[in-house]
Amino acid sequence: MARVYLSLCFVALVAIGFIVNGSVADEDKKNECDKNNSEEVKFYELKKGDFSVKFTNWGATIVSVFLPDKDGKVDDVVLGYDSVDDYKNDTTYFGSVVGRVANRIGGAQFTLDGTHYKLVANEKSNMLHGGPKGFSDVIWKVKTYENEGPTPKIVFSYHSTDGEEGFPGDLDVTVSYSLTSEKELSVKMKAKARNKATPVNLAQHSYWNLGGHSSGDILSQEVQIFASSYTPVDDQLIPTGKIETVEGTPYDFLQPHAIGSSIDKLPGGYDINYVLDKDDSSKTMRKVAIVHDKKSGRVMELLADQPGVQYYTGGQIKEVTGKGGFVYKKHAGLCLETQAFPDSVNHPNFPNTIVYPGEKYKHHMLYKFSTKS
């Protein structure tokens, strides 16, 4: 991420005339620019009783979520870092908003309305989470910050330019976080295409550990996922285009059971998209998943209005030094990334992710927290 950071500063220096004949005229000015860019990125907090959530505008990221356990002990239940610099150098997407297209695009390419687009690959020949400099690696503007009143909230905004990481068209994006009750976090993502049709598929990439971010692995925690089907993948985790039942497979979480109960059947653990079951009611929000840590008693229920959820159990985490100096290891946290299906742009039978000029993309998530003995 250092190259990204310096390139932003380089652009700023050019704009104010400090580049002369292709060289930096004043090293002190460059250092000052570095300092100013660093100071733009800050931490913010929303608080409601003993429930608090912290953020940074680097990647519109959730930094921490503090919750009481069944005995009233408050702990942080998401993985993350203590400093802005750590987030700038992060490779795990801890807590960030990922896009313009979350998840994977096979071959880092797609065709839209007869035009072929070649994207910037960052996972072998494929694109992951928007490319080398996706939405998780940019500074978002703080549009609204209200930490008073019945519904504390913060709204981040970002303008993605035409051609960014290879995607067509200008895109205006906002992400709103709000504490809607004593133990509820609402996340609303919106995007509007300005001038060209473009794929949009945003996701929130927090790693949850309801036992506390420094409590070890999540294998004993119970998960229920409200999905009867999933999208199988090839050896590069690109969907084959098929939709198959979870019945009789290690992917079956229709009934709650421990994360580790069948994980040994899957090298690396879970990293798969589920096709969420439709609710019979007219409500747009679907039940996505329920996570329960028996030791702490903490429960997290997730609802969303998207058709899929990527369930990832942190199999690629390798000795990452996080908050308080704690070292996160394999399966230190789990992700439930509600979204459209991976590689939808290359599978006509998958949910549509194309947004045309004048249209709006919307994505709503609701996290409900509680405890039980």
Which residues are annotated binding-site positions for beta-D-galactose? 103-104, 205-207, 271
276 secondary structure, DSSP code: E
Catalytic residue among 164, 165, 222, 337: 337
Residues with Cβ < 8 Å from 18, sequence gap 6 or more?
24, 25, 26, 29, 30, 33
In whole angstroms, what is the distance from residue 164 CA to residue 162 CA? 6
- List, as residue ranges, the binding site: 103-104, 205-207, 271
Residues with Cβ < 8 Å from 189, sequence gap 6 or more?
97, 173, 174, 175, 176, 202, 204, 361, 362, 363, 364
In whole angstroms, what is the distance from residue 178 CA to residue 152 CA? 6
Active site annotation includes 39: no
Catalytic residue among 205, 213, 292, 363: 205
Active site annotation includes 129: no
Instruction: Read off the tokens for 255.
Output: 């009934």
Q: Which amino acid is at 94?
A: F
Using alpha carbons only, give the angle 371, 78, 342 rounded to the nearest 5 degrees.
Answer: 105
279 secondary structure, DSSP code: P
Residues with Cβ < 8 Å from 355, sequence gap 6 or more?
171, 191, 192, 193, 197, 198, 199, 200, 361
Q: Tell me the catalytic residues.
A: 205, 337
